[in-house]
Each structure stands twice: as C-alpha cells, then as structure tokens.
Structure 1
Amino acid sequence: MQDNNNDLPSPATGAPAVPAASGSGGQPRPLRFEFVGSGSEYFRIWIVNALLTIVTLGIYSAWAKVRTMQYFYRNTRLDAASFDYHGRASAILKGRAIVFGLAMVFQLTSHISPLLSLVLGLALALVFPLLLVRSLRFRMANSSYRGLRFAFTGGDAEAYKVFLLWPALTLLTLYALAPLAHQRFKQYQHNHTRFGTAPFAIDATAGGFYGVYLRAFGMMVAVMVVTAVAGGALGNVFGGGRGGVVMAFLVAAVGFYVALLAIGPFFMARLQNLVWNHTTLAPHAFRSEVKAGRLFFIFVTNMIATVLTLGLFMPFAKVRSMRYRIESMTMLAAAPLDAFVAGETQQVGALGDAAVDWYDIDIAL
C-alpha cells in the first residue's frame, strides 16, 4: 500500500495537502462506512419501480435506476455525511436506446448477410470502449460526497486496451490472462478517478489478482472432486446399474451447483478486500474486511428467503448484502475529512468545474 505521506502535493497546484490529523500520535483515524437504509424502505421503491417498468414496457427502467441509485447513495454514510447521485433518467434512457438500437441492427444484419454482420460486429467492438468510458465519466460526474463531485479522467486510447485488447487476449489464452486483464481494468478505473482534484490510486499487483482467481478455482475443483467421489460411492451403494448412475449424476450436479454458489461470495469478498486494501485517496487509505464465510451465509439465506417468498424478498436481500459489504469498509483518514473536503472544494472552485468531460450518456444496465 502506498505510504500515507501527509505532505503529498495536490495534483492540481502542487500545494501541500491538508495537515495531518486526528488520530492519536499522528496515526490515521479509522472512519467506518455506514448503511442506514432498510429492506422495508427499499421494498416500497423496488415494487413501484417493477410495476411501472412492466406497465411502460421497460421505458421506466431508466427512472427506476435513478431512484435505486439515489436510495443506496443517500443511505451510505461516512463521517456523519451521506453520498448522493445526480444522474438524470433521460441520459440513462439515451444510453440504453443506443445499445438497444445497435443490438437490433446487428440482429437484422445477421439474417441478411453473415459477412455484413461480421463487419458490423467489428465496428461495434471499436465503438463500445468509447461508450464505456463515457458511461464511467457520467457515473463519477454524477456522484458526490458533501456536495463535491467525483470525476473520471481515463482516456480513450487506454480504454481500447482495457475493454478490447485485454478481453481479446483473455479469450485467446483460454482465460489464462483473465486475472491480469482484471487488474489492468482496476488500475484504469481507480488511477483515473478523482474526488474533486484529489486522485485515487491503486497498487494491487497482478499477482494478487492471480491469487484470488487461483484460490477460487481451487475451491471449485475441490468441491467438485468431493462430490464426484461421493456420487460414485452412492452409486455403488445403489448397486451400480441405471439407478447408481442416476444417483451419481444427481450428486455431481448438486456438487457443481454448490461449488458455483460458494465461489461467488468467496471471489467477491477476496476481490473487494484486495482492491480496497491497496487503494488510496490522496493521503487517505482504505481497509476492507469482508469475510467470505459471512458473505456466503448472507447469500444462501437470501436465496432461500427469495425462493420461499416467490421473489418478494429480493429488495431485502440486496439491502442485506450491500449493508454488509459497505459496513466492512473503513477509511483511514490521515486528516479531518471536513478540512479535506473544504480544501478540495476551494481547489475545484479555483480551477472551474472539475468534471470537464461530462458526457450525457450512461449505458450501464
């Protein structure tokens, strides 16, 4: 992790950062993230969003996304202050209309000429990195904390490497380069994000990502081997034959499903910890302590409750999962945040709008 030097210069002016701080003996002060929303509150938003989206044949989904984002942002707190989301539904609807239109054109050309669809597919591959960058800029420019906006400054040339070159190499190497591609994406995302004028930075290595991927893969293989052995043993108990084969197949299928179910929470927990434990914001650092076992328990109980309630528990499940992941995060503040935010607000005011490239489009679903 980068050294939290209290004299780090401002990226914009070279002026020293706000003086250090508030922990005893000059140590960083831990500030826990909080989520103060509830499942019942979000259920009311979720059910209205779902009904209006169905009635409007999906058009209202853009407004539904804005309401959902605002709910989760405004109920996430740090140092007694909330985040906020300012995105406009019209921009989201525009982005989705673009994606839908491109998909429809590609579908039509595939019925007319395979060659034409191939050419169009290549053209779409060239366009999509540009759309994704603008979507990232839109998301950050419309996110704020204490009234100060975030910003994303990643360039188009690097976006082609992150969103086109590395995914292509991942496919060509049969996913052997997937962890490296993931690390490059996180570098691009975090190293080009700002809060006001203060830059985020990440120093997580490719080796760290390979460690997460390999552990997850090893866990999945181990579960599948155990269930395959158990299935074979049960098959022998049933005397072989068709009944034994059916039993062995069922046990193997259940084992595969359990492996997939277990791998998601484990991967999510380890990845969040890896990324945020190696991320800084100017002189401030972060700590993430998501426990894979606890997250797995939340996922399993959420799934059971969702099935038993025919899907009506989904908003409660999302709140439970988000609350745990958010409240597992701590900011290690090297200086008082009110002074830090005030200083960044002055910097932005002196420089003009920090969100220079405010693209009015969001294609994220």
Structure 2
Amino acid sequence: MQTDEDVYVGDFEFDGNWREFAAIALPNLVLTIATLGIYRFWATTRVRRYLWSRTVFMGDRLEWSGTGRELFRSALVAIVLVLVPLAIANLIVRQLLVHGHTVAGQVLSGVVLIGLYILTGIAVFRSLRYRLSRTNWRGIRGGSHDQGIRFGPAYAWKNFVGMLPLGALMPWAMVSLWNQRWNAMSFGPWTFAARGRASGLKLPFLWCYVAPVVAIGVIALIIWSGMIVTFFGIEPRTPVEWVLIRLPAVFAFFFLYSLIMLAYYASFIRQMIRSTSLGDMNFSFNAGATDWMELYVVDFLLVLFTLGLGSVFISYRHWTFYLRNLQVDGRINFGAVTQSDTPAPGQGEGLLDVLDMGAL
C-alpha cells in the first residue's frame, strides 16, 4: 500500500536456490550447444528473469523485462557495424606492412586501437543503461537520457592517462569513469549520485604498484649475487631443472599478487558503492579480498571438477554474492514513486557481447 510518509528501506533479499536454478541453467546449456551458440541470448534472458524474480526489495520483487530477441538482434547489428569494419581494417594494415608502408600501417593500427577503446566505452555505458531500463520494481524502471556517446572518448583518454606514468593514475581513471557513468543514470524519479574519490585508494594501490618492483629487485639481487635457489635441496643441472625448481616461487608470487590485486579491487568496489546513492538511499558493500578470493577459487574448482558443466552456476553464485554483501540504508517515499521518463533503448547489449565483455 502506498503512503506519503517516508519509510526506512531494507536490504535486498534472495529466496531462490541452486536446484531451481539448475532446472533453468542445464537446459540452457544443452540448447545453446545444440544451436551452436545462438540460443545463448535467450538463455541469458531466462537466467536474468529467474534471478530478478527471486530478488526482493521492500517486499516487492524485481522483474526483468528484456528479451532474447533484443540481445540477438543487437549482436547481429554489432557484428555488421563493428567486427566487419575491424576485420577489413586489419587486412588493410597487414597489406600496408607487407608492402613496406610501415608508418601508414602503424598509424592506421593506432587509429583502430583508439576506435576500439571508444567503442568499448560506449558498450560499457549502454550495457548499464540497458540493464536498468529492463529492470522493473513496483512498476518503475531505470535508464538514462544520455546515449553514452561522450563516455566512449572519455573511456579512451582517461584509461590512457591512467597508464601514465606506469599505471600510477589508474585509480583516478577508474573512479572518474565510475562517477561519470553512474551520474548519468536514474531509476524511476530518482537520480544516481556518484561522488567517489581516488584518495582513499592510494594505499591499496601502492601495494599493487610496489609488489612487482620488489619481486624484480629480489630476482635481480639473486642473479647478481650468484645465489642458487634450490627446492627440497635439489640444485639445477639442466635448464629444464632450473625452470622447474623455480616454478613454485613463480606460482607463489602470482598467488600473492592476485591477493594484493583483489585487496585493491575489493577496496575500490567498497568505496565506490559507498559513495553512490539513489535519492535518499545509500549503499554499502562488505566483501573483502578474502571473500572475492573465495568466490573465484570456488568458481575455478567448480568448473574444473565438473569438466566445465559447473560454469552454468557462476552467474547464480555471483548474483547471490553481490546481494549478500550489498546493504541499503535511507528512506523512500512510496507516494512519490513515479515512472522514469528516460527513453527505453530498443537495442540490447550486442556491442558489449561482441567485444566479449558481457556480464551475467
């Protein structure tokens, strides 16, 4: 029942289970294989409809109104407008290099790379816009008046600047792009407000920045001093033994560095979600680095020990992971709830899917 009084909001709830999801995901897999991948667009729609319908917020369920036809049609358009021109440009670059026009080939290759970055930015923006426009709650949906055209160049130049010097400005680029994208979005009568700042990410990112430098320094010191690293007392006699003996150290480094990267990513997600609000509603996210590591390790083991069959459950695991760690605080006036006046895009996420950056 609607009221003109403000009501305190509660967290999202999920009342589905993996058995119900399996009854959808496994037939999806069979049909996708049988149709050589074409059914995947309808499979994605079925998965989203289930996950959305089992998600409850303030006593009302979410609803996914997108269709497989939308995703399929937009993918075809993206293939014609993006992949075909890219393939033609690649052939031209090769011909230029083969015939000795190195400078022209490199220039064209650079232009293609910049264009690809811009298209990626547009795809990232429009995918969020599309998902919000197809998400319904209490009869209202989200969306954006922005078409995402300006976000494409911003995505390209901010990522380029973020890599200078040696990636030191990546936190600024990530935060700036998060703010720009979410500030253009709305849901119903409310507008998202993202006020993230990169200052709180300096220390977590410093570990990501310093760890490889320290590792390279240690390796250089070992080589310079003539030390011989052994494993279980075995000294290397051949190049193969030299490599095998050092493999455990290499794996240990990448494992620890993955933890460091996850610690930064977890800090980034927590700060960005905490700095993002919708009307009078504020959000927070509790997952730390160990939680993300557990999520991905179990994903890997699930796929490994089921020979790939378990991959159909990854979307379910990730959706419940996000809902379990997401918290909402604030008030909402049900009497002020109105439908969004943003245009509902007719296309799906074809460009993002063609660029192999799809989610869920």
TM-score (norm 2): 0.77
Partner SS, residue 68 of structure 1: helix
Show CA shifts across 1:260-298 (max 9, x none): 553564344323211111121111211211132233233
Offset at 1:77? Answer: 2.1
What's the offset of the Cα at 1:171? 4.3
1:111 counterpart = 2:54: no
Instruction: Provide the rounded CA distance (Å) in 1 between the counterparts of 2:63 and 2:263.
Output: 29
Is structure 2 residue 339 aligned with structure 1 residue 343?
no
Q: Which residue does 1:296 correspond to in 2? A: 293
Corresponding residue to 1:364 among 348, 352, 356: 352
Identity %: 20
Q: How many Å apart are 1:227 and its aligned residue?
A: 11
**Counterpart position of 1:286:** 283
Q: Distance in 1 between matches of 2:49 and 2:257?
A: 31
- Give, in angstroms, the shift of residue 71 of structure 1: 2.2
Q: Does 1:238 align with 2:211?
A: no
User: Is the contact between residue 274 and residue 283 of structure 2 (CA under 8 Å) also seen in structure 1?
Assistant: yes
Question: Paired residue for 1:199?
Answer: 191
Change (3 A) 1:132 1:314: closer
Which piece of structure 1 moves more, 234-243 or 81-90?
A: 234-243
1:52 is matched with which residue? 31
Per-residue CA deviation, residues 74-126 of structure 1 (Å, 9 max, x unaligned), is 22222232222212222222322233232233223322444585465555555
Q: Which residue of 2 aligns with 1:313?
A: 310
State how 1:255-294 maps to structure 2 within 5 Å. 255-259=252-256, 261-263=258-260, 265-294=262-291
Q: CA deviation at 1:244?
A: 5.8
Give the aligned residue type for 1:72: L
Quote the Cα distance in structure 2 between the aligned partners of 1:178 and 1:252.
28
Q: How does 1:136-215 map to 2 (within 5 A)?
A: 136-154=128-146, 156=148, 158-171=150-163, 173-215=165-207
Q: CA RMSD in A?
A: 3.4
Alpha-carbon distance change, 176 to 46 in structure 1, aligned in 2, over 3 angstroms: same
Aligned counterparts of 2:244 and 2:38: Cα–Cα separation in 1 = 47
Aligned CA distance change for structure 1 residues 357 and 149 (closer, same or farther; 3 Å): closer
The runs of 5 or more residues in structure 2 that have no matched partner are: 97-103, 354-360
Distance 1:51 1:218, change over 3 A: farther
- The aligned amino acid for 2:90 is S
In 1, Cα distance between equivalents of 2:23 and 2:16: 12
Displacement after TM superposition at 1:148 (Å):
1.0
| Pairwise CA distance, 1:132 | 4.6
- The alignment partner of 1:49 has SS state of helix
Over residues 181-220 of structure 1, what are the superposed CA-to-partner deviations in whole Å (9 max), with x where a residue is unaligned?
1111110122122111211112220213444433445567
Q: Tell me if the contact between 2:207 and 2:260 (Cα under 8 Å) persists in the aligned partners.
A: no
Q: Residues 33, 165 of structure 1: CA spacing in aligned structure 2 closer, same or farther, 3 A cutoff?
A: same
- For 2:37 and 2:248, locate their aligned partners in 1 and report how far apart those are by CA, in whole Å: 40
Structure 1 partner of 2:358:
none
SS in 1 for 2:166: coil
SS of the aligned residue for 1:144 comes to strand
2:117/2:152 contact within 8 Å kept:
no
Equivalent position SS for 1:105 = helix
State the one-letter code of the partner of 1:191: N
2:251 aligns with 254
The separation in 2 between residues aligned to 1:283 and 1:124, in whole angstroms, is: 38
Amino acid at match of 1:307: L
Cα distance change of structure 1 residues 154 and 177 upon mapping to structure 2, 3 Å threshold: farther
Unaligned ranges ≥5, structure 1: 1-17, 23-28
Which residues of 2 match residues 217-228 of structure 1 at below 5 A? 217=209
Letter in 2 for 1:175: G
**1:296-317 CA-partner distances (Å, limit 9, x unpaired):** 2333233223312212223344
Q: Which residue is 1:95 aligned to?
A: 74
In structure 2, what is the equivalent of residue 40 of structure 1? Answer: 19
* Shift in CA distance, 315/109, structure 1 to aligned 2, threshold 3 Å: closer
Rounded to whole Å, the distance in 2 between the matches of 1:224 and 1:42 is: 46
The CA distance in 1 between the partners of 2:235 and 2:180, in whole Å, is 57
Q: Which amino acid aligns with 1:82?
A: R
Q: Structure 2 vs 1, CA of residues 128 and 325 (structure 1 numbering), >3 Å: closer, same or farther?
A: closer
Whole-Å Cα distance in 2 between the matches of residues 103 and 190 of structure 1? 28
Distance 2:258 2:68 in 1: 34
